[in-house]
Amino acid sequence: MRQLVGYRRYESRKALDLLEAIYADWRLMVNYFQPVRKLISKERVGSKVRRRHDLARTPYRRVLAASDIPEEKKIEAEEIYGTLNPVGLQRRIEENLQSLRRWPR
């Protein structure tokens, strides 16, 4: 996973607000636009381990495909997805990160 803010200590309310905004946008980027390959099985063959993965899909697509998720949650996720712009999200994350880096200690 990508490190967003590092190990610097932020103690002001403004820094907290920036961190909350960064991680709220990052959550949307990861869950709606970054595909992940899930591990299906591992099998030891001699000294090697053979791993099998499924197809890369976003967590959002996995929710839509799941049969045990209520339809209301799926509709809610689709509505959120319809309002998102990945380029705008990334731009907002970068702007907030730059503001946070400029913030005095």
Q: What pTM does this model have?
A: 0.81
Q: What angle do CA 55, 57, 63 make, to 5 degrees?
A: 120
The pLDDT of residue 104:
67
Sign of torsion over alpha carbons 73, 79, 81, 87: negative
The pLDDT of residue 2:
63
- Residue by residue, pLDDT tens for the chain (105 residues) are 467 877 878 888 998 999 999 999 999 999 999 999 999 999 999 999 999 999 999 999 999 999 999 999 999 999 999 999 999 999 999 999 999 888 765
Reported for 77-86, long-range contacts at CB under 8 A and 24+ positions apart, including other chains, are 80/28, 80/32, 81/32, 84/28, 84/32, 84/33, 86/29, 86/32, 86/33
